[in-house]
Amino acid sequence: MAEIILDSGNFEEEVLFSTVPVLVDFWADWCGPCKMLGPVISSLAAKYEGKLKVCKLNVDDNMDIAEQYYISSIPAVKFFKNGEVVDESIGFVPQQKLEAIIEGLI
């Protein structure tokens, strides 16, 4: 399953009302580390299909949501469970670190 592209029209439904844990990648086109993290996020989406929803939110196009979740540095990955942020990672991190967080959620 590919990543779900988020915006203000689907954020609530896809993230806050999700019945499975959700990873949200806050990113922007101009961000080098975001581009480096992209393949990692895609790999996680494939590896955890059916157990974890993997989403991407462009902060430039959705500043209201980015501000709501206090995004000041990107890439920022926030993990949601039952509509609440339960963990996060800021900056580029290896896939193994994100997998360790995910394993604690699912």
Average pLDDT over residues 78-99: 96
Q: How confident is the model at residue 87 (pLDDT cuts 50, 70, 90)?
A: very high
- 55 classed as catalytic: no
Residue 29 confidence (pLDDT) above 90: yes
> What pLDDT is attached to residue 15?
98
Beta pairing class for 84-90 and 22-27: unpaired
Catalytic residue among 23, 31, 41, 52: 31
Burial group, residue 86, by CB count within 10 angstroms (0-12, 13-18, 19+):
middle
Residue 1 confidence (pLDDT) above 80: no
- Look at residue 42 and give its three-state secondary structure: helix
Average pLDDT over residues 24-42: 97
- 31 classed as catalytic: yes
> What pLDDT is attached to residue 95?
96
Catalytic residue among 15, 24, 34, 45: 34
Of residues 21 and 1, the one with the higher pLDDT is 21
CATH numeric code, 4-105: 3.40.30.10
Average pLDDT over residues 29-48: 96
pTM greater than 0.85 (yes/no): yes
Residue 2 confidence (pLDDT) above 90: no
